[in-house]
Chain A
Amino acid sequence: MSALRRALARVHSFFHKPPLDADLEAEIATHLEMAIEENLQRGLTYTEARRQAMIRFGGLDMAKYQQREARGLMNLDILLQDFRYTLRSLGRDRGFTLVAILILALGIGANVAVFSVVNTLLLRPLPFRNADRLMWIAPPPTKCGQSCATYSTDAYDEFRTYSRTFQDVTGYFAFSGPGNLSLNRGGAPIPATSIDVIANFFQLLGVEPAMGRAFRPEDALNGAAPVILITDAWWKTQFNADPSIVGKAFDMNGTQTTVIGVLPKTFDFGAVFSPGAKIDAITPLNLYGPPRNWGNIITMIGRAKPGVTLAQAQGDAEAAEPHMCWNNNQPKTCGDYARHNGEGGVVPVPLKDYVSGKLRRSLVVLWSAVGTILLIACVNLSNLLLARAASRSKEFAMRGALGASRFRIVRQLLTESLILSISGAALGLAFAWLLLSWFAHQGAIALPLLSTLRIDGAALAWTLLIAVSAAVLFGLMPGLRMAGGSLYESLKDSGQGSGQSRKHDRIRSILVVSEVALACVLLVGAGLLLRSFLRVLSVDLGFQPEHAAAVKVDYDDTVPGDKDGSLTAQKRGVIFQEVIARVSAIPGVEAAGITDYLPLGQNRAWGTPWPLGIKRPDKTPGSPLVYVVSPGYLRAMGTRIRGRDFTWDDGPKSQNVVMIDKSFADYLAKFAHWPNNDPIGQLLDTSKDGGRIVGVVDDVHEESTEGDTGWQIYYPDTQASPSAAELVLRTTLPPATLAGSVLRTLRDINPKQTVAEFKPIQTLVNHANSSRQFFMLLVASFAALGILLAALGIYGVISYSVNQRTKEIGVRMALGATRSQVQISVLAKTFRLAAIGIAAGAIASLIVSRAIAALLFNTAPSDPYAFGAMVVLIGIVALLAGYLPARRASNVNPMVALRNN
């Protein structure tokens, strides 16, 4: 009780200092008067009476200090005092303050930005309710792309009913291509992208629409009225954020579709499940309609029951495998999903791992790089503060002589570092915010969750933490050195050429060497990543992305009453032939063709075709990816064919033909024993009468630019049914210049053609390389920052030592040293520092580069180019940083230098 009362009273006293001090003064004055009076009565002279009274009272200031300490918040008082003092002294030294704050802002800003990325991608849970219980259920990746990572509707139903550890299982249709939705509001139809999800999707994720309702089971039944949920972004851009949109119906893909709700702003399907893709709307997937017979189409996502471990879920899923059939009507397909030699299976992994697990290593590297930057910044500041401290040593010696304790002086210096680092952090936070807002709008970067980047409470806490640690790190050393120095030495030391300065010089040299070494490590890391990136760019993709572009073609090939699909195929052929002929006639178009899937995007497989009449092994490693293409497509893509391309004569009624890629041909040749191992002219079991291999084409990087090429098989549009039509054209002009005329031509042929996006093929490649590029650019900019800071450090030290030695240089020049001799001696010192730093850095880099070996592509961790470039670059930068002070040294006028000291 009394303690609380006292605490309150102390706070009160803290804010009422002047009246309380006046009170105390008056009280003490009375005290002394009374004492003097008593002494006078004892017969002392006034002087003696006063002297005695003062002795009995003790130190006046001491008594006041004790009273204030007892009454108020002394520590806070001192802090405020230090604070005011620091502001004054920093204000006097504006150049130093600005440089220090800027260095810290860059270091801290980079750290906060990267922390936010790490936090968003690795630390923060996914933006769903109880996201830690969400599991991605798929087999490990194999050769046959998405078709082997998905399940049939029968398998989904079986898993959902069989599994015991999952509260519920949902999924979405994995093969929706961009632009699969055409919104017709009068005028040219507008392309959009929608994803079909199983009706319980939002319920399972725990996402509530911002307006309207989520799907209900009856929305996904046969004959249900078509409904759609739209994203917040599409609602705003396409529907002007119409507040009464729920319940309105629009013409979508030719059917009146009712908007039943708007998804919350925080829900971004693309950000989680398909990085870099823009999804506009979500539609219900009818499990019991046509998709029943489409084979593997569903990616499964499960919500584990509370308390279920990953191992339990995985065991449960494995137990379900034998019960799952590819198609319940074909009993021999039951157990098709069972794992085999580590392939296939039904394997739940935490959804978070699926989304961002692959990036963990890159992010850790990024985090370390940015930590190194902060370290360099701290070393730099330590150095600056030491230089400053050297010139302030007399001030502190004086304060020490006047009674300030060492603790008080260290405290004062730490306050100064704290003020610097907190200001730096505030500015850094602004930098980070700018950087993050820019990242968040880089839709083209294939990184998950990028659009959800923001500075949150965790990032703010992190900022504070690194600001304080940085302050201690860079402030403590100079602080201790200052307070630890001998009083007498400092007062005597005139600061130039004496012992104390020499010692400072050595510490500062060591700091600069470590700074250079750290910069070397960053530079080597950036160099290795850059080399890897260049190697990725130079990979032979199997097609020529330059000068080619793709645009989605809308067509209607339905023929009522067509029994075997041949009339439809016929009609499609006619449409495609016209499209290709008309587009080819546009000036500048060199070649044109149509495919249903573009490389580096969506894909699917239809099992593994086998040479007719040859016995098939029990299990084949994956299946070729299927592309249904028109004649001329491969030429337009720049993919070479041995044999012949499809022609328009390969019609629905003629001999079925296929083309396969080299590595699939080589694989089949091992079993088929074709004459000369030549597959051309041979038959595969792709249809009843067999499909004749008419061409063997280059291996194409279909899934990634860095991974294996996998296998591909091509069918003609007139003999197999494509899932869409992407018109690819090759041109001599910049592809974008053709967009207008091509779209006009397409609309001329089909008035229902949407205003589809005209995509240069290069952008598909760039998109595939974007995350590597993103990391490479970040590390490279950190390395640049590192070099800049190191150069600043070298400049600071050399320039300081030149200043300190002005007198010495003057004497030397007076004794006959030439300008160039002086310059060379300064540069030699610079060079010595840089060389030691580079040597240490090279050794450290060798160790660090082993650690990032997994992130490199066709680049050895000890790549001589990266190391060579580092040595040359740091060497040049160091010499430049040393050149300015060297020139100043050589311009010393001996007379002036000697006189001034």
Chain B
Amino acid sequence: MGETKAELKLDLLQGTLDLMVLQTLATIGTQHGYGIARRIEQVSGDTVLLNQGTIYASLVRLQQRGWIDAAWGTSDNNRKAKFYSITESGRKQLAKDAQYWQRLSDVMGRVLSMPAEGRPG
């Protein structure tokens, strides 16, 4: 049963999670790790195979590159949580990466929808 479930979900390509995190922060503003993870799950309609824990490696990576900022704060129901927000250079990087993904997915789409040749049709 576990196998069929995994088949339905998309495995994350290298680097895609970072882009998702950036996009999420760019749209919803400041958010904590759990919030980001939930948001990605919701937006993808639960089709992304995401172990929520993996988000923390992505967050520290983005933070070290200076694309997001982090600060401890208090959540709605008064919990201490670490809140992340996108920086200016993070926005630039997001624009670049989004464009790249767009182009890649266009090309992939075209390649995959190539009509079969040489057959009488």
Contact = CB atoms under 8 A, between A and B. Distances in A.
Interface in A2-48: 2-3, 5-6, 9-10, 13, 23-24, 26-28, 30-31, 33-35, 37-38
Interface string B3-46: 00000000000000000000000000000111101100000000
A57 to B, nearest CB: 5
A338 B61 CA distance: 80
Contacts of B61: 6, 70-71
Contacts of A59: 51, 53
A373 to B, nearest CB: 50
Given A37-B77, A59-B51, A28 B89 contact: no
Nearest to B60: A71
B113 interface: no
A2 B62 CA distance: 10
Q: For chain B, which range describes its interface: under 10, 10 to 19, 20 to 34, or 35 or more residues?
A: 20 to 34
Contacts of A24: 56
A354 B93 CA distance: 67
A896 interface: no
A60 B82 contact: no
B57 A69 contact: yes
A27 B77 contact: no
Interface of A: prevailing SS: helix
Given A27-B82, A34-B34, A66 B54 contact: yes
A30 to B, nearest CB: 5
A2 B80 contact: no
Given A2-B66, A37-B77, A67-B60, A31 B52 contact: yes
Contacts of B65: 2-3, 5-6
B56 A30 contact: no
Contact of A2 (B37, B57, B67, B81): B67
A6 B67 CA distance: 11
Contacts of B80: 26, 30
B57 A70 contact: yes
Nearest to A10: B64
A56 B64 contact: no
Contacts of A6: 61, 64-65
A63 B34 contact: no
B79 interface: yes
A58 interface: yes
Contacts of B99: none
A59 B93 CA distance: 30
B52 A56 contact: yes
Nearest to A65: B57
Given A34-B75, A35-B52, A62-B53, A27 B33 contact: yes
Contacts of B67: 2
Interface in B46-105: 51-54, 56-58, 60-61, 63-67, 75, 77, 79-82, 89, 93
B96 to A, nearest CB: 12
Contacts of B58: 70
Contacts of B35: 34
B52 A30 contact: no
Contacts of A13: 64
A58 B49 CA distance: 11
B60 A70 contact: yes
Interface in A151-172: none
A625 to B, nearest CB: 82
Given A27-B81, A30-B81, A33-B79, A63 B64 contact: no
Interface in A401-433: none
Q: For chain A, which range describes its interface: under 10, 10 to 19, 20 to 34, or 35 or more residues?
A: 20 to 34
Q: Name, among B34, B63, B79, B80, the residue most crowded by chain A CB atoms within 10 Å (CB to CB).
A: B34
A69 B51 CA distance: 17
Contact of A28 (B51, B53, B77): B53
A66 B66 contact: no
A31 B66 contact: no
B56 A66 contact: yes
Given A30-B79, A30-B80, A9 B53 contact: no
B53 A71 contact: no
Contacts of B57: 63, 66-67, 69-71
A28 B32 CA distance: 11
Contact of B56 (A9, A38, A67): A67
Contacts of B54: 58, 63, 66
B79 A34 contact: yes
Contact of A63 (B51, B75, B82, B89): B51
A3 B58 CA distance: 15
Nearest to A60: B53
Nearest to B66: A5
Q: Name, among A3, A31, A35, A56, the residue most crowded by chain B CB atoms within 10 Å (CB to CB).
A: A31
A31 B34 contact: yes
Q: Name, among B53, B66, B79, the residue most crowded by chain A CB atoms within 10 Å (CB to CB).
A: B53
Contacts of A9: 63-64
Contacts of B82: 23, 26-27, 30
B34 to A, nearest CB: 4
A11 to B, nearest CB: 11
Nearest to A56: B52
Contacts of B79: 30, 33-34
B83 to A, nearest CB: 11
Nearest to A6: B64
Contacts of B81: 27, 30, 34
B54 to A, nearest CB: 6
Contacts of B89: 2
Given A5-B66, A33-B79, A57 B60 contact: no
16 contacts: A2-B65, A24-B56, A26-B82, A27-B33, A28-B53, A28-B56, A30-B80, A31-B32, A31-B33, A34-B34, A56-B52, A58-B54, A62-B51, A63-B53, A71-B60, A71-B61
Nearest 4 interchain pairs by C-beta: A58-B51, A63-B53, A9-B64, A66-B57
Interface of B: 32-35, 37-38, 51-54, 56-58, 60-61, 63-67, 75, 77, 79-82, 89, 93
Interface of A: 2-3, 5-6, 9-10, 13, 23-24, 26-28, 30-31, 33-35, 37-38, 56-60, 62-64, 66-67, 69-71
Given A63-B56, A67-B57, 18 more contacts: A2-B65, A2-B93, A5-B64, A24-B56, A27-B56, A30-B75, A31-B34, A33-B79, A34-B75, A56-B51, A57-B53, A58-B54, A59-B53, A64-B53, A69-B57, A70-B58, A70-B64, A71-B64
